[in-house]
């Protein structure tokens, strides 16, 4: 059988087709627990995302692992506090009355979305702060450093 070389993007990471994030199959239907497979990522995103998700008080556990060094993906497991409301047999985390509402209830998918949004907000803040300080031009250039003045 002939070997097929994978195509690579500009970062040299093998490019794969398909969804970026998928929810891995589970033995039970509990919306508070899920394992996500995120392709084309490694410890850089895994540790940052795990940190941001764990800052959420509704999250009881979040961890990630690289399944194998030759697989360029991470598996991220999230477990929230599990406080949900069942209304007419359907899961309802957006209850309307105070009797139906549980403060802080959140599914694992919602926790992932919030973690991704929070991480993007943090990255945007760092970029804006860096650009503002760079624009002030109040920094030292070490002797012998090559600087491309623009």
The CATH code of domain 21-135 reads 3.30.1360.10
C-alpha 110/C-alpha 32 separation (Å) is 9
Q: Assign 95 a pLDDT band (cuts: 50, 70, 90).
A: very low
Q: What is the mean pLDDT of residues 114-134?
A: 95
pTM of this structure: 0.70
Among 39-43, 99-103, 130-134, name the one with the lowest average pLDDT: 99-103
Coil, helix or strand at residue 33: strand
By three-state DSSP, how is residue 9 classified?
Answer: coil
What lies within 8 Å, CB to CB, of 31 at 6+ separation is: 84, 91, 107, 108, 109
Tokens coding 107: 């599914």
Nearest to 63 by CA among 29, 95, 33: 33
């Amino acid at each position: 059988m002939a070997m097929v070389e994978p195509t690579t993007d500009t970062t040299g990471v093998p490019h794969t087709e398909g969804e970026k994030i998928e929810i891995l199959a589970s033995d039970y239907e509990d919306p508070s627990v899920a394992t996500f497979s995120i392709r084309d990522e490694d410890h850089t995103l895994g540790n940052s995302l795990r940190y941001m998700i764990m800052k959420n008080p509704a999250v009881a556990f979040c961890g990630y692992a690289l399944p194998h060094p030759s697989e360029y993906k991470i598996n991220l497991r999230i477990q929230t506090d599990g406080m949900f409301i069942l209304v007419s047999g359907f899961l309802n985390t957006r209850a309307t009355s105070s009797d139906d509402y549980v403060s802080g209830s959140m599914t694992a998918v919602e926790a992932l979305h919030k973690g991704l949004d929070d991480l993007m907000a943090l990255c945007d803040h760092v970029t804006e702060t860096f650009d503002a300080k760079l624009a002030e031009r109040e920094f030292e250039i070490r002797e012998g450093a090559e600087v491309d003045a623009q």
